Amino acid sequence: MMILSGDPPRSRALSVLLVVIIAALAVAPFVFPGAKAMNVATKICIFAALVASYDLLLGYTGSVSFAHTMFYGIGSYAIAIALYSLGPNWGAVAIGLAVGLPLAALLALVIGLFSLRVEAIFFAMITLAVASAFLVLASQLSWLTGGEDGRSFQLPELLRPGTVIIPKDWIGVAVNGRTLTYYLIFIACAAMILALLRVVNSPFGRVLQAVRENRFRAEALGYRTVFHLTYANCLAALVAACAGALNALWLRYAGPDTSLSFAIMLDILLMVVIGGMGTMYGAIIGATIFILAQNYLQALMSIASNAATEAGLPLLPGLLHPDRWLLWLGLLFIFSVYFFPAGIVGRLRAGAGRAT
Amino acid sequence: MTEVALPEALPQPKRDLLPVLLPVMLALAMLPLIGSSSSWVTLTAASFAMGMMIFIMASGLTLVFGLMDVLNFGHGAFIAVGAYIATLVLLPLASWVQADSLLTNLAVLLPAALAAMAVSGALGLVVERVLILPVYGQHLKQILMTTGGLIVAEQTLYALWGPQIIPLPLPSALRGSFILGDVAISKYRVLAMLVGLTVFAGIQLVLNRTKIGLLIRAGVENREMVEALGYRIRRLFLGVFMTGSALAGLGGIMWALYREQVHASMGDELTVLVFIVVIIGGLGSIGGCFIGALLVAMVANYGGFLVPKLALVSNILLMVAILMWRPRGLYAVTSR
């Protein structure tokens, strides 16, 4: 209980689901050693942490930010640029983190102080504008960021795939630098999610929820809501930047499409809402479902699309084309806001509440 | 005999002209920086035309927010839909578009614009009923719902038309420029200015001279009171929403012709620009939106000419500067 900060899943089905997901992720390098499966597992870890940090904003304070990928991108680029220009060593990783994390927090502070004073809507619009400017900036300052091509770099010796720690003939699966990187990411992301769970269940987290429910009243009770909201914004930005740094370490690359694009922002939004806003566990569920769908649903859609083409149906092949999977997720998103605004986690918890 | 003091005239709302002067001052301040007066005129005309197009797209958004406190993050979808519908009319009639006569060109442009407005207006009806009505009064859900709507609309456009960029050539009579001395102003920009000014004048006339306009303005100021007086403000709002969507569609076709291409992602790109304009102008203010659109276009054009690298972030800098001066935008209409 201590490690979950006294906020257990509160639903048997949810607990089982979480245990299955986490266990699968924990043993992924040994059970699913393929390159694609490993990429999916890593992406689930990183996005679970990223989405959890976004949930701190969206679910717990009720403010919609469109700049979350900007912080994610700052983390990615900080690592990429440091390792690219200083060479593959641990000092460069440290410098990247030492520059990237404070930069993200500072930017979040400025945006927060600037726009969180007024309505949530204002914050949403300002973050959208700032994030789009940042995206343009990152793709134009090619001397620093590599422009549209981004920056590829080499990892420190220990994390490279070539570094064999346990050879393949010992236990059947090779443990190499890649496996080590995966566990580094897994542990870091788990730590970040647990830390966020700690934050939302602290007195500070309670104030955030009070602000979400009734800002005027929270202010009347004597809380400086701007301070609380800005603080939450900075925390979320820090976690997002860390997630971005981990993502860059895994991909050995940072570019506009993998870390900054508006599409990722929409993905995060979909994951939070589908998983369940304001629950933290929703982040894990949402990220898992979304990324599995992203990687495996498309194959299914391609089969359906081909079948529709063969059957000579009009329009359907286009709508079922694998590239259009976002269309169906967008519809799912609208339906979840409509019918179960608390997402999957809220649904499962409500079911558990009725049963007892 | 004691003099009876004449009753003073009703207190008029104080006129606030400073924001109106802002674009003029900006334009004049740029004259010495740019140096040559002919390029200054060209740039100013270009900014004016671009500003008008942005204004057409943004006007609906600001009114909808002012009247009903609804912020539509899917506004860009109407812009893109308008542009795609225009291609349905313009591409099959390409021979008319390429005909070397202004009348033939306009005879095909006009129905294209009307079709674009009709379809995006009708889409506005659906969006309002399906997406906005159920979450009325809940900001967070509105943002989520309309963002979802934007994704679905954009993906549907991709599914129906494919992911490629569709080229949309300008009608031949609108290509080229008017040349006065050493000043060149492209013909299409003149058309854009005319359309923009007409829309602005039309909106102002409706708002200030008709009963519906009176109700809209009253609704912006105090919705409950208008409802208490027995007007069905929901229906009024639906009308405003549809008009706003139709205007976005019109802006979409104009922007598509200006860029001479159509792409489903144009909705996202323009959403950001339109938001900046609406924030600068003050949420809910048509006049502010007009000035905001002009300022954004001027900064983009002058900035692009003087310091091309700066043009990338110039909009944000402009927004920050304006909000430092007036935190609620140039003209804050609502108290919300």
Encode pLDDT of A15-63 as tens digits. Answer: 999 999 999 999 988 888 888 899 999 999 999 999 999 999 999 998 8
Contact B331, B287 (CB under 8 A): yes
Task: Give the Cα separation of B185 and A19 in Å (integer).
Answer: 67
Tokens 């919300």 found at? B336
Tell me what percent of the residues of chain A surpass a pLDDT of 70. 97
Q: What residues does B185 pair with on adjacent strands?
A: B178
| DSSP H or E stretch at residue A107 | helix A90-115
Cβ <8 Å between B144 and A269: yes
Task: Say if A7 falls within a structural domain.
Answer: no
* Identity of residue B300: A
Q: Specify whether the CB–CB gap between A74 and A107 falls below 8 A.
A: yes
Do the chains contact at A120 and B140, CB–CB below 8 Å? Answer: yes
- The range of the structural domain enclosing residue A39 comes to 12-355
CA B96 – CA B61 distance, rounded (Å): 33
Interchain pair B148, A330: CB under 8 A: yes
Interchain CB distance below 8 Å, B155 and A140: no
Q: Identify whether A6 is part of a domain.
A: no
Angle between helices B211-221 and B233-259 (to 10 degrees): 100
How far A136 CA lies from chain B's nearest CA (Å)? 7
Which residue bears the tokens 């009725």? A354
Report pTM: 0.83
From the list B155, B278, B327, the residue facing A330 with the nearest CB is B155
Does some domain include residue A220? yes
Beta-bridge partners for A254: A151
Within a domain: A256: yes
Q: What are A175's strand-pairing partners?
A: A166
In tens, the pLDDT along A245-274 reads 999 999 999 988 888 888 888 889 889 988
- Residue, of B158 and B101, whose pLDDT is higher: B158
- Are the C-beta atoms of A128 and B273 separated by less than 8 Å? no
Contacts with B133 (C-beta within 8 Å, 6 or more apart), sequence order = none
Contact indicator for B303, A149 with CB cutoff of 8 Å? no
Over the stretch A277-295, which tens digit does the pLDDT of each residue have?
888 899 999 999 999 988 8
Cβ of A165 under 8 Å from any chain B Cβ? no
DSSP state of B171: P
Q: Considering only the beta carbons, identify the residue of B135, B160, B312 that sits closest to A136.
A: B312
Q: What is the pLDDT of residue B336?
A: 44
Q: Check pLDDT > 80 for residue B327.
A: no
- Kindly report the CATH number assigned to the domain that includes residue A262: 1.10.3470
Q: Which domains does chain B have, with CATH numbers?
A: 37-325 (1.10.3470)
Query: What is the domain count for chain A?
Result: 1
Closest CA to B13 of B208, B202, B203: B208
The string of pLDDT tens digits covering residues B255-282 is: 999 888 888 888 888 888 898 898 888 8
A226 touches chain B (CB under 8 A): no
Helices (H), chain B: 18-34, 37-68, 75-90, 94-98, 102-127, 139-161, 187-209, 211-221, 223-228, 233-259, 266-281, 286-306, 314-325
Burial class (CB in 10 A: 0-12, 13-18, 19+), A35: exposed
Q: What is the pLDDT of residue B330?
A: 86
Cα B116 to chain center, whole Å? Answer: 15
Predicted local confidence at residue B7, as pLDDT: 60
Whether residue A324 lies within 8 A of chain B, CB to CB, comes out as yes
Instruction: Quote ipTM for the complex.
Output: 0.78
Hey, is the C-beta of B42 within 8 angstroms of any chain A C-beta? no
Would A85 be classed as within a structural domain?
yes
Tokens of A73: 């991108």
Is residue A329 one of the residues assigned to a domain?
Answer: yes
Residue A72 host element (H or E): helix A68-86
With beta carbons less than 8 A apart as the criterion, state whether A285 and A345 touch: yes
Decide if A1 is inside a domain. no
